[in-house]
Chain A
Amino acid sequence: MDQNEILATITDVFRDALDDEKIILARETTAADVDNWDSLTHFQLVVAVERKFSIRFNSQEFLRWKNVGEMVDSISAKLNP
């Protein structure tokens, strides 16, 4: 799965988890750019992404992401080791 496909998939995950079909994610997107993406929902987005890709992050990883791009890189590294 390439990075664009990963981005498209996590966009769907975000839309579903946050109940907002209007969400559009780019690599530069941060929590500040998405309504309802706050520190409380962040963790649940992480769990939803893990389930979707059948992967698992350690807490160091998901605490360090600064934007969607870094999340995509983490997923990509796990899918294509």
Chain B
Amino acid sequence: MLFTSLTFLAFFTVFFICYWLIFTTVRAQNLFLLISSCIFYGWFSWPFLLLLLGSSAFNYWLGIGIGHTKDEKRRRLLLWIGLFQGIGCLFIFKYYNFFAQSAGATFHFRPDAFLLHVILPLGISFYTFRTLSYILDIYNEKLAPTNNWVSFFTYVSFFPCLISGPIDKPGAFLLQLKNARRFNGEQAADGLHQIIWGLFKKLVVADNCALLTQNVFDHYKTMPAGSLLFGAFLAIIQLYADFSGYSDMAIGLSKMIGLEVTRNFNYPFFAQNIADYWRRWHISLTAWFTEYVFMPLAGRFRNYGKGGLIGAIIIDFAIIGIWHGANFTFLLFGLLNGCYYIPLILRGKLNKKPPTSKGLLPGFRELVNMAGTFLLVMLTVVVFRADSVTQALDYLRRLLSPTILSGFWISEHANIYITLAGIFVLFAFEWVQRDKAHPLQLDRISGAPLRAAIYYSIILFTLLCCASATNEFIYFKF
């Protein structure tokens, strides 16, 4: 049940009407939200719904155990049991076969007998991080355990964010579930506008880019360097439009339900250095890792000064890379991003956010910084996108060759102009509206007809120019 499908439209319409018209008490709203989330997830896979509910029940019980125990040893034991369960599930479903195959290749044995025939449960990386966050926050005494199982299960399985985030912290989310939501027309309209923007990014930009990038990555050996550069450009735009489009829809749907969830993207292509970029890209995941992995590591390494800080960042990013999937490409992607922090740390610039312009045009230095950062993340996304490290390095070697300036050709011309028009609209709206939570917050425009004209233009553009084939969201497979 993709957000872009008619099935989801029907599901959400029925949900929306019942939620606001029939279920008006906090208990009824939360229970209805939980049941709807189970139906949403069960639509993808009923057996994996049991895993989701089992994991929720186990961590609910652990949370109460950790929160109500004074004995530090017992608290720590319960925490470790929770970490073992969450990370263990991720390992079995996501990484076990990769390790078995890698061990087979290294030690020259056939791994077939050791492989598990399992498929990855949808959204497991995201909901597991919610349960881990919950028990870690209770252990760190930042959060009291909830005694309301419906609220906790709703936090873990909240359907707009279940499959691909954002990964909300439990404290802020559970607090919102304590009171009944009252329909707020302004909030719902804002949510709807954000969904429209998310659909535009997904259907026009990401899906049109997908047709072209697939072609480039499939035939990169026969293409000139200019085409490979263009392919890398489209790949980073596709990844951004796909994932941030999904996030916009998730946040917009949440607003329509009367709940605020955490922001996941903050115009990352306007970042001026790599630290700035990662503060703007997949914010909820980066913040999760910074709090639960980087900070404890940095604490342990702090006697080693800047070297310790660099070590903590690189390990943190290596794990972020591996979080995306069991492939050496993701590990390399993470390591590279960690290494990009080294100049910032050595120059003492990690804490300092570069000055940004408020006007229509960026300053010269800002423009140079943005272009440099974009180029770096664009080349790195080749590693993220490639099937293997060998393919990534081969692609980059061919890209960084003298033919890079000799122009480009891409065999499938049909949607290039629509794709480029979509990318232009994306960048133009995001630049002008970069101080807003999303680009369709048009409160600066006082005339309602003009605002409506802009909304309908985006809808029309989406309907007319959406790609012929829609793809599953990229982050579903993580």
A: residues with CB less than 8 A from B are 17-19, 35-36, 38-44, 46-47, 58-60, 62-64, 66
Contacts and interface: CB of A to CB of B under 8 A. Distances in A.
Contact of A17 (B275, B295, B298, B351): B351
A68 B46 CA distance: 46
A39 B295 contact: yes
Contacts of A63: 140, 291, 295-296
Chain B interface residue count: which class? 20 to 34
A19 B296 contact: no
A38 B287 contact: yes
A76 to B, nearest CB: 19
How would you classify the secondary structure of chain B's contact residues: helix, strand, loop or mixed? helix
A36 B296 contact: no
Contact of B291 (A18, A36, A39, A46): A39
A40 B302 contact: no
A62 B351 CA distance: 18
23 contacts: A17-B351, A18-B352, A19-B351, A19-B352, A35-B353, A36-B352, A38-B290, A39-B290, A39-B291, A39-B294, A40-B279, A40-B350, A41-B350, A41-B351, A42-B295, A44-B351, A47-B302, A59-B299, A60-B140, A62-B295, A63-B295, A64-B140, A64-B142
Nearest to A45: B351
How would you classify the secondary structure of chain A's contact residues: helix, strand, loop or mixed? helix
Contacts of A42: 295
B141 interface: yes
A63 B300 CA distance: 13
Interface in B32-71: none
B334 to A, nearest CB: 16
Contacts of B353: 35-36
Nearest to A46: B299
Contact of B290 (A35, A40, A60): A40
B141 A59 contact: no
B287 A39 contact: yes
Given A17-B351, A36-B353, A41-B351, A62 B299 contact: yes
Contact of A64 (B141, B279, B350): B141
Interface pairs A-B: 4 shortest CB-CB: A59-B299, A39-B290, A39-B291, A43-B298
A59 B291 contact: no
A32 to B, nearest CB: 10
A73 to B, nearest CB: 13
A63 B298 CA distance: 12
Given A19-B352, A39-B290, 6 more contacts: A36-B352, A40-B290, A41-B350, A41-B351, A44-B351, A59-B295
